[in-house]
Each structure stands twice: as structure tokens, then as C-alpha cells.
Amino acid sequence: MAEIVVQNLRKEFGDFTAVQSSSFKIGDGEFFMLLGPSGCGKTTTLRMIAGLELPTSGEIYIDGEEVGQKPASQRDIAFVFQMFALYPHMNVRRNISYPLVSQGMARAQVAEKVAEVARILGIEDILDRPVSGLSGGDRQRVALGRAIVRNPKCFLMDEPLGALDAEFREHMAEELRALHDRMGATTVYVTHDQLEAMQMGDKIVVMNHGVIEQFGEPQDIYDKPATMFVADFIGSPSMNFLKFHGKLERGATTVELNQQTVGIPALREPFDGDVVYGVRPEHIRLSDSAGYRAEVLATEYLGTTQIVTLRTRNGEVKARIASDQPANPGETVGLEFDGATVTLFDNQTGRAIRSDLNEGVLSHG
């Protein structure tokens, strides 16, 4: 289908810069996520790829052809919005047929295409129903059908599941991903939901204030965050930040945290100043013998695991441990950190300090 390359893309609205200077490549057939909080520039980026906004500067290539200044109609893409825009007076079949009929396709061929799409989406039984009576999920399926039927080079989706409730969103996310696996079409998907991005994406771009913070595969971004913003935004509960002051040598494999020695992946660069010890909740163990002490503030039962909130000398910390391990509010316990998984950050700039763990990943960001 299509490979999309974005180079030094920039968009200003008057004095406001929505997108600074984005560069990334979307491989043919990839499910690609643009992730970030509201106002980070992800939707503006998507709209520029679609041709709904023109870039201030920079280039967009679809299959090698520079389309940055071309109108949307010449780009052969399909857009799916958060609010399913269907024609309320038409039935499902006519809604899906509409893009083909308006292109002047022969009726027999239209019927064949619509039948095929209906089968892919599992909506054959509702083709003759009016769209007004449909459930939210079916309406979104019809909207998808209308996008798929044209066989575009790529799909652009702006929070297509945002309007659905949590349980149903989970279900539609799976369905959408399965659909993508069957069709193999390049898909660019905007979301502010980190779990949705992790669950569905082959690649993720994390944006903040118009700047790309990190670009890579979901697990890499989770394990090796390039900045404190990424570490905080991805994961629930998010990464713990324990702040301390230190002078670190290249090659160091431990740091002193509140007079206790804790592990880190070997450093690839020296650092002197305010440091943040970044550790994920599942990489903290409660252990009576550990020297690093903390007070249990609260526990949250989650079935097989529980989240324990603890007070330490370096701030509040959350640990994810097995739910059958006792932890009672008010108790003092010891904490062990899985040093090999830790990321250290420069507290001033928020960027990750290079180590054996993240070497190689940071250069992508």
C-alpha cells in the first residue's frame, strides 16, 4: 500500500507553533501511533498528512511522491474521525456505497465491493438497516466500512474509539487491530491513551508541545524511555522518580540513594548534578532485609497483583507486587530495585542519561 515519510515538518498558527520540526518514517503496512496529551500536535500532524492542513515548512512523502502542498483529494487516503460522520437518512449499504457511487463505479462492482467489506467487518446482517438505530459500535464499523471500501493507500484515524465506553473500546481496539492484520493497510492513528497505543501500535511516536520526544517500538519505549515525559506518560502507574544529587562516573553500576547502594545499568557517560532514579512499579520488590526503608501508605487490590503506595526519603513510590504478599498501611518495609531496568535522568533537562540499557535506542529519539 504505502510508505509515508515526514521530514522536518512544521506548522504554525499565527504565533503558536503546533508542530516544531517532526521527522519520522512509517513503513508500508505498519500500524503507526501518534501519541500525546491534548495540544501536543498529534492531530495537527495527522491533518497535515491528510492534506486538511498545509505545513508551514517541511515535506510529506507518500510512496516517494512529495504531497505536502497537495489537496486532500489528490492523496488517496481515507480519514476516520472520532465522531462517526454517517449520512443519517441513508441505510448502512448506501452509506458504505457512497464513496464508490460518487466515483462513478459500475453498480455491479459497487455491490460486490460492499458485500466484501461487510463480510470483513461482520456487518452483513445490518446492511439494510437505517444507521440511526445502530449501536455505537455498529456505527463505528459502518464508518470504517466507508473508509475501507475505497481501497485507499492508507488510513488516517483520529481517536476513532474515543467516544466509546471503556469495556467496548477494549473490544473495538482488538477488532480494529485484527482488521488491520487481515488487510495490511498502512494506518496512522492518533490517540492520547497510552494503553491503546501500546496495545495496537507497531511503532509509536510520543509527542509533547509540538516536539517528538521518542519514536520506536512500544516495548522499547516502555523499557527505555528517552525523557522523563515519556517515562511518566507511558505505563500505569507511571515510572517512579526518586530524586537525588550525585556525581556519577562513566561505567558506574551503582548509585547512593539515601545512603543505600542501589543498582543501575552501567553508565555510558559521566554526570554531575541533580539526578532522577527512574524505576517502574513492577521492578520494585518488598523485602524485610533490604536497607532502603519505606512506609506503606496504601494498597490497591487488582486481582493477581496489587499496587502499594509507599513513602520514602526520596518521595512517594508505587510498587506492583503479588496480591498474596502482605503489605499493611503503617508498616515499614525494605525496598529492592531491579537495577538492570532502571533509567537515570538529568533532572534539569529531563533527558535520559546514556547507559548499557538504553544505548542504541536514544539515538532514534
Instruction: Enumerate binding residues for other proteins (CB under 8 A).
Output: 165-167, 177-178, 181, 193, 195, 198-199, 217-219, 222-223, 234-238, 280-282, 298, 300-304, 307, 309, 320, 323
Instruction: Provide, rounded to whole angstroms, the least separation between the CB of residue 342 and other proteins.
Output: 15
Q: How far apart, in whole angstroms, are the C-alpha atoms of residue 258 and residue 304?
A: 32
Chain-centroid distance of CA 151 in Å reads: 26
> The dihedral of CA 67, 64, 187, 22: what is its sign?
negative
Instruction: Provide, rounded to whole angstroms, the least separation between the CB of residue 322 and other proteins.
Output: 10
Instruction: Provide, rounded to whole angstroms, the least separation between the CB of residue 358 and other proteins.
Output: 15
Cβ(54)–Cβ(69) below 8 Å? yes
Secondary structure letter of residue 325 according to DSSP: S
Instruction: Provide, rounded to whole angstroms, the least separation between the CB of residue 267 and other proteins.
Output: 22
Q: How far apart, in whole angstroms, are the C-alpha atoms of residue 186 and residue 238?
A: 30
Grid look-up 498501611 returns 329
Q: How far apart, in whole angstroms, are the C-alpha atoms of residue 298 and residue 291?
A: 21
Secondary structure letter of residue 179 according to DSSP: H
Nearest to 310 by CA among 290, 287, 291, 330: 330
If the CB atoms of residues 189 and 271 are measured against other proteins, the closer one turns out to be 189
If the CB atoms of residues 95 and 355 are measured against other proteins, the closer one turns out to be 355
Q: How far apart, in whole angstroms, are the C-alpha atoms of residue 306 and residue 322?
A: 6
Q: Name the CA radius of gyration of the chain, rounded.
A: 24
User: For the chain, first and last CA: distance in Å?
Assistant: 26
Q: In the numeric block, which cell numbers belong to residue 162?
A: 474515543
Nearest to 253 by CA among 243, 265, 244: 265
Q: In the numeric block, which cell numbers belong to residue 215?
A: 519514536
If the CB atoms of residues 282 and 356 are measured against other proteins, the closer one turns out to be 282
Instruction: Provide, rounded to whole angstroms, the least separation between the CB of residue 239 and other proteins.
Output: 10
Instruction: Provide, rounded to whole angstroms, the least separation between the CB of residue 115 and other proteins.
Output: 25
The total of other beta-carbon atoms located within 10 Å of residue 175's CB is: 17
If the CB atoms of residues 150 and 177 are measured against other proteins, the closer one turns out to be 177
If the CB atoms of residues 54 and 302 are measured against other proteins, the closer one turns out to be 302
Instruction: Provide, rounded to whole angstroms, the least separation between the CB of residue 165 and other proteins.
Output: 8
If the CB atoms of residues 4 and 308 are measured against other proteins, the closer one turns out to be 308
> The dihedral of CA 130, 132, 133, 135: what is its sign?
positive
If the CB atoms of residues 199 and 347 are measured against other proteins, the closer one turns out to be 199
Instruction: Provide, rounded to whole angstroms, the least separation between the CB of residue 185 and other proteins.
Output: 17
The DSSP line for 230-244 is: HHHHSSSS--EEEEE
If the CB atoms of residues 63 and 232 are measured against other proteins, the closer one turns out to be 232
